[in-house]
Amino acid sequence: MLEALLWGAIASSSLVLGAALAMVRRWSDAVVGIVLAFGAGALIAGVAFELAEAGVAEGGALAVGIGLAAGAMAYFFADRAVEARSGRRGTGAAGAAGMPLAVGALLDGVPEQAVLGIGLATGDGVSVALLVAVFVSNLPESVGASADMLGAGRSRRFVPLLWLGVGAICTLASVGGRAIAEVAPPALTGVVDGFAAGALLVMLVDAMVPEARAKARDLAGLATVVGFAVAAGLSLLS
């Protein structure tokens, strides 16, 4: 459990790092977009090589398919609920600025890090490729959301505390993933892998890739391919 706690903390530490970077200086949209695109490419590789492939090997195609559908629907409806709530409160209000991104980081961070814990429980060790993908993809989300909240008047104490809380929940998800995998049948492990993959794919298509394209423009595609290549290479080496 301590090992899962350690790796979970490392993966989620980029959320707090992103908040710190936003407080130090203002980053251009182009830089945030390039990092976002790199993280998207890394996550695509993680979905393909670490979640879908490992899930099928562990629990079978049916289990992964069920998990994919459940994860996609769960993220879709949770994200719609967040958007509806922020819309009612007004996106320009200090209370709402940046909060949807923070909740989004929580929604995709929990299944991502649960999979890290599952890898430890099954004896495969931590997936370096998935760890890198999670770490890198968290950064622009945290930087962007933190900048929005600071610009809307949130205190410099509230912002890092918020990300510490999100990071703590995501870290505990790694421990929970390991605990579930130790007692669950292989089919359930496949469902969890599929759930994470489904949630990530919806998040990538609905939010991460469009935002990367809007911010980095023509460089987004190249950065995405570089992120995919790096994560795929790490996955093949591990």
Examine residue 89 and state whether it is found in any structural domain, yes or no.
yes
Examine residue 34 and state whether it is found in any structural domain, yes or no.
no
Examine residue 36 and state whether it is found in any structural domain, yes or no.
no
pLDDT at position 124 is 64
Examine residue 66 and state whether it is found in any structural domain, yes or no.
yes
Domain containing 84 equals 2-23+44-237
pLDDT at position 69 is 95
Examine residue 189 and state whether it is found in any structural domain, yes or no.
yes
Q: Compute the CA torsion angle 141, 146, 147, 151 (nearest 10 deg).
A: 140
Contact predicate 79/201, CB 8 Å: no
State how many domains the chain has: 1
Using N-to-C axis directions, what is the helix angle for 186-203 and 61-89, rounded to 10°? 40
CA distance 223 to 209: 11
pLDDT at position 221 is 94
Write out the chain's pLDDT in tens, 238 residues: 777 888 888 888 989 998 899 888 888 888 888 888 888 888 898 888 878 887 888 788 999 999 999 989 988 888 787 777 655 444 444 445 566 667 767 877 787 788 778 777 766 667 777 787 778 778 877 887 787 788 777 788 888 899 999 999 989 988 888 887 777 787 887 888 888 888 889 888 888 888 889 888 999 999 999 989 988 887 777 6
Examine residue 39 and state whether it is found in any structural domain, yes or no.
no
Examine residue 98 and state whether it is found in any structural domain, yes or no.
yes
pTM recorded for the entire structure: 0.77
Examine residue 30 and state whether it is found in any structural domain, yes or no.
no
CA distance 229 to 231: 6
